[in-house]
Structure 1
Amino acid sequence: MIDVVDFFCGCGGTSAGLRNAGLNILAGIDINADAGKTYQSNFPAAKFFLQDIQKLSPSELVEALGQRPNRQLLFAACAPCQPFTKQKTSKREFDERKGLLDHFHKFVKEIRPDFVVVENVPGLQRIKRDEGPLGRFIKVLAKLRYKFDVQVISSQDYGVPQIRRRLVLIASRHGKIAIPTPTHGLTAPKRPYETVWNWIGDLPPLEAGQSHESVSNHRTAALSDQNARRIRATPENGGRLDWPADLTLDCHKTHSGHTDVYGRLFKDRPASALSTRCISLSNGRYGHPTQHRAISVREAARLQTFDDDFEFFGSLNSMARQIGNAVPVKLAEALGRQLLEHVADPRNHSKPN
């Protein structure tokens, strides 16, 4: 059995996927109260630390986890990605979140988990190359004699119905390890990519601003009268370029970019990457494929491959933020299965360095 401590766990996308793969979720750590409530509700047996890891010491964590004889340990970390993403709106030179991966170092150095998984946006590896957050972390792993693999991968290659490129690092103290081989793609023997309609097409219809009485979190944001007219003027697979002139925003009349905003999701393709505003019609291609509204919280969760019994808490905007920030469940599950295969290989049964 591999025990998991999920740093920057958010609502629990990484934990959900690793649990599905067969790993034991021991603890989650996050500073967001709404995400913490969601995490605790869905992982009741796990310890939860509503705490800034800059103020949590490795000794406190070890003491809280207690005795774990003959158990292997995985540290998973998905530090907040907003400082490194192309979609950021702030140009602040200093953002304290940029240093959070560096604070993760102390836990790896002092506790020496058997395995480490780090997930973030692809831009992380381009920040000052060798001297950026990822470069510094890789130097720590190399000094501690971990074997690791790091790649930019696509979530849709692992059964996620969403085009979402992520930087993933997987490391082991027990031997060579690699990012799992993609399972989905355009050519055999890979399985076909998952589509939006495969994942949300069976959910009951809703109007904008409604909640479904029996489907958990199947709740949609309200629309202004003008935006209601806009989505009704948007055909299947369409977007703002299909509107009549009187519905076009002034800022779009002289701007040819950002054509996905106000668009409908394509039924027969993976979804566009979900952001923290994934239930807002004006913030991406998040319109429902056929209904006159943006996607619901539950639909967004399904596109992140959360099970329907995974319940989210907080305001509409908070739940959308939790889902948009989450690691897709099936991607985390693929990483968990890779770790279990690694452990089962007799070549990796030696004591760690």
Structure 2
Amino acid sequence: MPTPTVIDFFSGCGGTSTGLRDAGMRIAAAVDFDSAASATYRANFPEAEFHEVDIRILAHDAFDHLVPHDAPLVFSACAPCQPYSSMRPTASRARPRERSLLLTLIPFMDRLIPDVLIVENVPGLQKIPGGSTWNRFLRYLARAGYSTRWEVIDCRDYGVPQRRKRLVLLASRHGEIDLPTPTHGGNRRPYSTVRDWIGSLPAIQAGETYADDPLHRSGALGDLNMRRIMALSEGGSRSEWPDDLWLECHRNSKGHQDAYGRMRYDDTAPVLTTKCTDITNGRYGHPTQHRAISAREAALLQTFPLEYKFLGSLKSVTKQIGNAVPVLVAKAMGDHIVEHLNDAGIDSDG
């Protein structure tokens, strides 16, 4: 079978493209509107045609010249997930324009008729009430002749050292398709751990950047937050603090228990958000060093390769990493798609 060609919609900094490239696919083009994520993507995929533009105004024939006549075409789409995130309390009241971004894919699908589609998002996408974007998109796929399979997956099941639940859909116009069999957990291989992915990185201090890797940098801590993290054991939380370190807002609240906590080396990490290099926003303290995890450590916990380049400030890079699709999840989907297309007998005639 010729090498599958990928067009990556809502590409972000490139997590999905990296996984699909690792699965042997050719990344032909990508689209994203975020300037910082776009710069990172271009730095890692110089061979791909990149469109830094709002997809709602992108010409529907923008990719016509890239569509192969002798190879399968794969679309990937991870529309911005904030409107549907469980961490956004007003998710059900997201603006209609935010909700409908997934539907902007339809004109491109009608025009180019991809062989396979991958959609990845937060589980909340399927729960928006009313005329659900998700249900409308599923109805479109059925009318267009695609077989679909979707479910909420645990990224740990595919080797990601992170408790991250994601909604994943695969759609194919070449017969029934399912999701890849998990490789980790249960009676399979043990879950990957924080130690597996960041345990060998050089030690740094809060506010320091490692000389040989500008991404291995950690945010500075004020005196009070330094005392707070120094008071914690590995895997510890603020329940270990002496009374003078407590915040008034936490004394009578059971919410946000992970804030200011440390990770544990021999466990999986919590879900990484767009603020995952700040100890005040979750259990993002390094297991043993007195600091938050660095941007490089966050990227590794999202299973990006060590040499992956990220451009921008620490805040910007952290946002890019938190929004990314874990690379190993994308690779598992890519490997499975290649197997599916081979089993379907896809050749140069499509």
Task: Calculate the TM-score normalised by the size of structure 1.
Answer: 0.95
Q: Deviations over 1:181-221 (max 9, x none)?
A: 1000132xx11100001110000001111100112410111
Per the alignment, residue 265 of structure 1 pairs with 263
Quote how far apart the aligned CAs of 1:311 are: 0.7
Amino acid at match of 1:180: P
Is the contact made by 1:197 and 1:268 (CA closer than 8 Å) also made in structure 2? yes
Per the alignment, residue 191 of structure 1 pairs with 189
Distance 2:339 2:62 in 1: 31
Q: Does 1:68 align with 2:56?
A: no
Per the alignment, residue 179 of structure 2 pairs with 179
Is the contact made by 1:236 and 1:264 (CA closer than 8 Å) also made in structure 2? yes
Q: Secondary structure at the match of 2:62?
A: helix
Distance 2:90 2:288 in 1: 34
Distance 2:209 2:186 in 1: 37
Q: Does 1:126 align with 2:124?
A: no
Amino acid at match of 1:136: R
Distance 1:92 1:69 in 2: 42
Quote how far apart the aligned CAs of 1:92 are: 8.2
Amino acid at match of 1:121: V
Per the alignment, residue 108 of structure 1 pairs with 109
Q: Does 1:21 align with 2:19?
A: no
Q: How does 1:1-353 map to 2 (within 5 A)?
A: 1-63=3-65, 65=66, 68-88=68-88, 93-95=93-95, 96-128=97-129, 131-187=131-187, 190-346=188-344
Is the contact made by 1:175 and 1:347 (CA closer than 8 Å) also made in structure 2? no
Distance 2:110 2:129 in 1: 23
Is the contact made by 2:263 and 2:269 (CA closer than 8 Å) also made in structure 1? yes
When residues 257 and 322 of structure 1 are mapped into structure 2, their CA distance, relative to the original with a 3 A threshold, is same
Q: State the identity %.
A: 48
Q: Deviations over 1:293-334 (max 9, x none)?
A: 000000000000000110100111100000000000000000
Distance 2:292 2:191 in 1: 23
Quote how far apart the aligned CAs of 1:113 are: 0.7
Distance 1:97 1:318 in 2: 21
Q: Deviations over 1:16-49 (max 9, x none)?
A: 0000111111111000111011000000100110
Distance 2:252 2:340 in 1: 54
Is the contact made by 1:31 and 1:51 (CA closer than 8 Å) also made in structure 2? yes
Is the contact made by 2:295 and 2:314 (CA closer than 8 Å) also made in structure 1? yes
Is the contact made by 1:342 and 1:348 (CA closer than 8 Å) also made in structure 2? no
Distance 1:94 1:259 in 2: 27
When residues 91 and 60 of structure 1 are mapped into structure 2, their CA distance, relative to the original with a 3 A threshold, is closer
Unaligned runs of 5+ in 1: none
Quote how far apart the aligned CAs of 1:91 are: 6.2
Q: Secondary structure at the match of 2:56?
A: coil
Amino acid at match of 2:80: P
Aligned residue pair count: 347
Is the contact made by 1:122 and 1:166 (CA closer than 8 Å) also made in structure 2? yes
Is the contact made by 1:158 and 1:334 (CA closer than 8 Å) also made in structure 2? yes
Quote how far apart the aligned CAs of 1:10 are: 0.4
Is the contact made by 1:174 and 1:349 (CA closer than 8 Å) also made in structure 2? no
Distance 2:257 2:56 in 1: 40
Is the contact made by 1:58 and 1:111 (CA closer than 8 Å) also made in structure 2? no
Quote how far apart the aligned CAs of 1:107 are: 1.2
Is the contact made by 2:8 and 2:17 (CA closer than 8 Å) also made in structure 1? yes
The range that moved more, 86-95 or 269-278, is: 86-95
Distance 1:349 1:132 in 2: 37
Is the contact made by 1:199 and 1:302 (CA closer than 8 Å) also made in structure 2? yes
Distance 2:320 2:71 in 1: 30
When residues 207 and 9 of structure 1 are mapped into structure 2, their CA distance, relative to the original with a 3 A threshold, is same
Distance 1:91 1:37 in 2: 29
Q: Secondary structure at the match of 1:76?
A: strand
Unaligned runs of 5+ in 2: none
Quote how far apart the aligned CAs of 1:128 are: 2.5
Q: Secondary structure at the match of 1:241?
A: helix
When residues 157 and 138 of structure 1 are mapped into structure 2, their CA distance, relative to the original with a 3 A threshold, is same
When residues 94 and 346 of structure 1 are mapped into structure 2, their CA distance, relative to the original with a 3 A threshold, is closer
Quote how far apart the aligned CAs of 1:124 are: 0.7
